[in-house]
Amino acid sequence: MGLWYGSTLDLDPKLLQELYDYQHLLASYVRFSPHIMTLQCPTCVYEVKNKECLSDGLYCLIPPKDSIGSLYNVTDEGVLWETLYGRCLHESIKEKEPDMLSFFNYLYNVRKTCFRDTFMGFETNNTVSAQAIQ
């Protein structure tokens, strides 16, 4: 089962809880796999690639759905790094945790903690990451 999303901002906390519930119940029968949607913009000007992309425009964030992204003071690059961290966490635990509790816990905590206020810094993500995977 695949979940395609552009960033953690696209994932409602209630959806994350429901996905975990299903994965927990069906872990022996279904393999959950997150997929991050990105854009490529190798011909974008330097300022855009530097602010909104990784790897010289190879991976650029797809803006969050609706206007939710405008509520937070965070760069596209910061959101993309956070999203990639979540994907790496999934890769590191997918064989060890069939129900992927750490992965869903991380996404839920980032969404509920880091993205609940009108300001979020990249350092906040590091704090939540450490708490989520303990």
- The neighbour count for residue 121, using CB atoms within 10 Å, is 13
The reported pLDDT for the residue numbered 129 is: 39
The number of distinct structural domains making up the chain is: 1
pLDDT confidence bin for 112, thresholds 50/70/90:
confident
Q: Is the model more confident about 112 or about 37?
A: 37
Domain boundaries, position 36: 2-132
CA distance 41 to 78: 17
pLDDT above 90 for 43:
yes
* Mean pLDDT confidence for 50-57: 86
